[in-house]
Amino acid sequence: MTRLWTTFISLVVLVISLPLSADTQPDQWVEKQSFSMDTYTTHGGVTIKDVTVGWEAYGTLNEAKDNVVLITHFFSGNSHAAGKYSADDPQAGYWNAIIGPGKALDTDKYYVISVDSLVNAYPNLPNVITTGPASINPDTGKPYGLDFPVVTIRDFVNVQKALLEDLGINKLHAVVGASMGSLQAIEWAAAYPNWVERMVSVIGAGSLDAWTIMGLEQWAQAIKLDPNWNGGDYYNGEAPLDGVTMAQAMITHGAMHPEYINQAVPKQETLPQKGLESVTNELPAVEWLYGASRARAPLADANHILYLVRANQLFVAGHQETLEDGLKNISAKTLFLPSSNDLLLMPYMAEQTANKLKEMNKRVQYEEIDGPWGHLNGLFSIQQKTGLLSEFLATE
């Protein structure tokens, strides 16, 4: 393990050291900006006041405003997709390997923009700007808690759309996203086909099946079973950090493949003494996972994680009764890049969606990403698809 544990803090869920082969040096400096709406009405019909999200951009918007590539981020991520805020930053944005001058998402050609999601999982990170259950309800002067309305992937897309419209943009050269970001990318293509010319789904799916919904619910139950969660009303008391720690550990365990974990985790001696002394003592592999998660927990908000889980559980592209109905309106050229050994959003999910689009005579490409990371190949092995991404963005 050759990186500081803080490398993984900014990238995924926990502080876990990673021997990254991706480009970690920025070709640009970036500034976090904010966008606000006086009101926003959710897909479910509930109006939220004073909605604010953060955003970042790389490259230059051309005069026609038609060179925009939107990056939609993953569950535990945010809009910091590339570059650094300052020379002191230990790590560039998570997709710095493919975003920048001369790279796959060439910022000499494209204006690349990314937006913090509503109910971002980590509202306590200093560079995350989001509105969610931890935000102050202007009607009460107190945090929303569970009074905040349920939001969907469509809501994330709609807030992004409002920001783009505020910038005078009404067309996307492409929308590209990984994991939860892939759900947003295909939702963009399904909900607003006149906007989207190209869509790239990395480690994603067109809808979530029962197996995946069950797996996500385990993350939520870990939080709900923490007594400090208190039905979502903990903002004047002790935060449910044990539940958040458990949820984060489960997320990371599911997102990483045994091939990497078994190489990176400290090896366990035969019959370790501390394990024999008490069942309450943590074994080395457990210390590696949960120790990192405990350090990360205060940056998260338990309710925000629950709301993100529900948004993902509800997802069907196009938000129609069936996936087939949701995909019908897509006119964009599409590219699916699942990870071949993904144990979280398994590649069959992307393949099924790609096949349904092919049956509708849509323009579809499908390739798998290889590597030791499992789900996280979509972040740390993405550079192997540099040529494919460049070609896909450049051709009609």
Residue 9 confidence (pLDDT): 36
pTM for this predicted structure: 0.93
Q: What is the pLDDT of residues 1-58, one digit of tens each?
A: 333 333 333 344 433 333 333 455 566 899 999 999 999 999 999 999 999 999 999 9
Active-site choice (79, 179, 201, 207): 179
Active-site choice (116, 155, 301, 342): 342
* DSSP of 124-154: TSTT----STTSEETTTTEE-GGGSPP--HH
Residue 4 confidence (pLDDT): 32
Contacts of 180 by beta carbon, 8 Å cutoff, 6+ apart? 72, 73, 74, 75, 117, 153, 308, 312
Contact indicator for 36, 54 with CB cutoff of 8 Å: no
* Partners of 172 in the β-ladder: 196
155 in catalytic set = no
Task: Name the residue with tokens 């460049």.
Answer: 390
Backbone angles phi, psi at 375, to 5 degrees: -55, -35
Superfamily of domain 5-208+316-394: Alpha/Beta hydrolase fold, catalytic domain (3.40.50.1820)
Backbone angles phi, psi at 111, to 5 degrees: -100, 105
Residue 26 confidence (pLDDT): 60
301 in catalytic set = no
Contact indicator for 251, 218 with CB cutoff of 8 Å: no
36 in catalytic set = no
* Partners of 369 in the β-ladder: 339
Q: What are the domain boundaries of the chain?
A: 5-208+316-394
Contacts of 392 by beta carbon, 8 Å cutoff, 6+ apart? 174, 198, 200, 333, 335, 365
Q: What is the pLDDT of residues 240-299, one digit of tens each?
A: 999 999 999 999 999 999 999 999 888 888 888 999 999 999 999 999 999 999 999 999
* Total residues found in the chain within this entry: 396
Element (H, E) at 199: strand 198-202
- Given a cut of 50, the residues of the chain with pLDDT beneath it are 1-22
Active-site choice (242, 293, 375, 381): 375
Instruction: Fill in the amino acid letter for 304.
Output: H
Cα-based distances in Å from 329 to 7, 142, 191, 245, 396: 40, 41, 8, 41, 18
The secondary structure of residue 45, as a DSSP letter, is: S
